[in-house]
């Protein structure tokens, strides 16, 4: 019943109520089966069954790619804990968010962001599980630290899932323009950051596009996008926001929009670079085409590949730091920039106030004729 | 020029049943008996007609003891006009309705009262 849109539930209740009038036995069962058909049709209309099936298939694939391995190995245990936690989060948090903010928004961007966010988190889970363990299983304090880092990462992932669900919900406070601006800035940041460091932040990684230069234009662009992107997104989102009429309320709402735009500009970027980077590191020893792309013109021996894979895996934790640090940077820069957005959208001296409706143009020809046509 | 709605043969059967006494509220099971349609066919038709504003629905307000409230249906004014137009141009006689009660009859008490059902 819950899979059904609210407006269709009455119809299912109607079928159920009428079943009391139908002679018992197979005729009543047939009548109720018709009711189930109504449920299926309504759910398919809303696309919910399709989305749940898609999620189930993606989760099954993630489990297939993540689960194998000896349970005696620490990396296998961590991978399984990751898998179970992530699937529970992805399946359970929507129910929680729906209680407060409603179901998913109908906008294409919101749906794209939800599907993309879910796909990215599942892909990150697979990629992280497929990384080559950097050394022997940790023991003692190292083991405790590893578990602490793991739990911290899962909390961060939960935060990402909740954020994606919250900003794309029907009753979200985030304006559509803010969502679009922040997401766009985040995609640009993620792609450029990945181009700069496809194998993490390790100095051992050979960058195909930046041979031997620390001040390459792409590196400069990455820094500009990391620090300037949230500011630009926040100012733009704040200026475009048209919310409550009360000037005090709208200022507060603009600060929120600026902060969210900043978080989106860095959070989306962090997710993209973490998924692509971790995936690249995990795929490197298995995919020759990727090694040719990462190390153009070099013919690496298996030992060299393994060595570089280990080095890259060691720097895989950097992506965890990126996932934590980027949204904090974005939030701070976004809120900091809100002052500029509020100043620039202050009403002009001598009044101002909210924009009024557009003047209605005169009807073509005679207004009377137009009115008469409307009345008909 | 107004475009005429296209209805399937099953939809025409439902419209014909509802047209017989347009002021009356009908139960789903009564409509199923009248049209010979199964619930899995009848209810999607009713849903579509209701979404297009051709059929109005309400809940019985005083259900029989031990029974859930029943859902009742009848044509709207727009629905009656569309149904009459569609049935008049339908090829087969099966879907042709008998003359509907005059619109003024709607002011009177319906045969199936939504309060008592």
User: Residue A71 has what pLDDT?
Assistant: 81
pLDDT of B3 over the 60 cut: no
Asked if B15 contacts B87 with a C-beta cutoff of 8 angstroms, the reply is yes
User: How close A365 gets to chain B, by Cα (Å)?
Assistant: 23
User: Residue A361 has what pLDDT?
Assistant: 43
Q: What are phi and psi of B6, to 5 degrees?
A: -100, 130
Which residue in B has a C-alpha nearest to residue A31's C-alpha?
B39
Tally Cβ neighbours within 10 Å of residue A95: 9
User: Residue A208 has what pLDDT?
Assistant: 45
Size of interface A-B (CB pairs under 8 A): 64
Query: Could you tell me which of B40, B39, B38, B34 has the C-alpha nearest to residue B17?
Result: B34
pLDDT tier, B116 (very low <50, low <70, confident <90, very high otherwise): very low
Which residue in A has a C-alpha nearest to residue B59's C-alpha?
A14
Query: Could you tell me which of A158, A151, A43 has the C-alpha nearest to residue A94?
Result: A158
Higher pLDDT, B117 or B42: B42
Higher pLDDT, A310 or B1: A310
User: Residue A372 has what pLDDT?
Assistant: 38
Q: Which chain A positions have a beta carbon within 8 Å of B46's beta carbon?
A: 11
Helix (H/G/I), strand (E/B), else coil: A235 = helix
Tally Cβ neighbours within 10 Å of residue A250: 18
Express as a percent the part of chain B with pLDDT over 90.
Answer: 38
Q: Quick one: tokens of A123?
A: 């892909």
Asked if A134 contacts A313 with a C-beta cutoff of 8 angstroms, the reply is yes
A95 contacts chain B (CB < 8 A): no
Euclidean distance between CA atoms B50 and B71, whole angstroms: 13
Q: Mean pLDDT score of chain B, rounded to an integer?
A: 77
Mutation target among A6, A8, A18, A38 for the B interface, most CBs of B within 10 A: A18
The pLDDT tens digits for A51-91 are 788 889 999 999 998 888 888 888 889 889 999 999 999 99
How is chain A split into domains, by residue range? 1-46, 50-172, 175-346
CB-nearest to B39 from A8, A15, A20 is: A15
Query: Could you tell me which of B106, B111, B95 has the C-alpha nearest to residue B17?
Result: B95
User: Residue A375 has what pLDDT?
Assistant: 37
Residues of chain A with pLDDT under 50: 203-206, 208-210, 212-213, 348-376
ipTM above 0.85, yes or no: no
User: Residue by residue, what is the 3-state secondary structure of A257-292?
Assistant: HHHHHHHHHHHHHHHHHHHHHHHHHHHCCCCHHHHH
Asked if the Cβ–Cβ distance from A41 to B44 is below 8 Å, we say yes
The pLDDT tens digits for A291-342 are 777 776 666 677 776 666 666 666 667 788 889 999 999 999 999 888 887 7
Q: Using DSSP bridges, classify how beta strands B26-27 and B71-75 pair: parallel, antiparallel or unpaired.
A: antiparallel
Q: What are phi and psi of B99, to 5 degrees?
A: -60, 130
What domains can be seen in chain B, in order of their start residue? 9-96 (1.10.10.10)
Asked if B38 contacts A35 with a C-beta cutoff of 8 angstroms, the reply is no
């Amino acid at each position: 019943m819950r899979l059904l849109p609210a407006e269709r539930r009455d119809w299912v209740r109607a079928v159920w109520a009428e079943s009391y009038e139908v002679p018992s036995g197979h005729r009543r069962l047939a009548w109720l089966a018709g009711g189930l058909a109504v449920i299926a049709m309504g759910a398919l209309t809303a696309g919910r069954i399709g989305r749940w099936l898609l999620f189930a298939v993606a989760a099954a694939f993630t489990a297939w790619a993540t689960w194998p391995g000896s349970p005696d190995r620490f990396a296998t245990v961590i991978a399984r804990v990751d898998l179970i936690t992530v699937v529970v989060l992805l399946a359970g948090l929507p129910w929680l968010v729906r209680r407060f903010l409603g179901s998913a928004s109908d906008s294409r961007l919101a749906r794209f962001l939800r599907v993309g966010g879910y796909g990215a988190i599942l892909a990150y889970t697979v990629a992280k599980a497929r990384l080559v363990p950097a050394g022997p299983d940790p023991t003692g304090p190292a083991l405790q630290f590893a578990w602490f880092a793991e739990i911290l990462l899962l909390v961060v992932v939960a935060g990402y899932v909740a954020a994606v669900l919250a900003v794309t919900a029907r009753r979200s406070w985030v304006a559509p323009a803010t969502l679009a601006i922040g997401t766009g800035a985040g995609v640009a940041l993620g792609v450029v950051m990945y181009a700069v460091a496809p194998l993490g932040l390790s100095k051992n990684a050979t960058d195909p596009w930046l041979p031997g230069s620390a001040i390459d234009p792409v590196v400069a662009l990455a820094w500009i996008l990391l620090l300037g992107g949230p500011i630009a997104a926040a100012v733009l989102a704040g200026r475009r926001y048209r919310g409550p009429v009360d000037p005090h309320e709208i200022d507060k709402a603009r600060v929120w929009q600026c902060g969210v735009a900043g978080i989106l500009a860095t959070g989306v970027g962090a997710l993209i670079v973490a998924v692509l980077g971790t995936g690249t590191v995990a795929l490197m020893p298995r995919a020759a085409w990727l090694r040719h792309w990462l190390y153009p013109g070099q013919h690496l021996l298996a030992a060299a590949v393994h060595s570089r894979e280990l080095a890259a895996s060691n720097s895989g934790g950097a992506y965890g730091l990126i996932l934590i640090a980027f949204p904090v940077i974005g939030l701070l820069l976004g809120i900091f920039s809100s002052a500029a957005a509020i100043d620039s959208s202050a009403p002009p001296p001598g009044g101002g106030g909210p924009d009024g409706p557009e003047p209605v143009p005169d009807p073509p020809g005679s207004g009377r004729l137009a009115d008469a046509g409307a009345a008909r | 020029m107004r475009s005429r709605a296209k209805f399937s043969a099953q939809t025409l059967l439902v419209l014909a049943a509802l047209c017989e006494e347009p002021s009356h509220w009908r139960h789903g099971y009564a409509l199923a008996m009248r049209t010979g349609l199964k619930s899995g066919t009848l209810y999607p038709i009713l849903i579509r007609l209701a979404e297009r504003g051709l059929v109005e629905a309400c809940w019985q307000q005083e259900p029989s003891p031990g029974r859930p409230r029943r859902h009742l249906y009848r044509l709207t004014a727009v629905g009656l006009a569309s149904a009459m137009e569609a049935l008049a141009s339908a090829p087969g006689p099966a879907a042709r309705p008998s003359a509907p009660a005059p619109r003024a009859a709607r002011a009177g008490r319906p045969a199936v009262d939504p309060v008592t059902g």
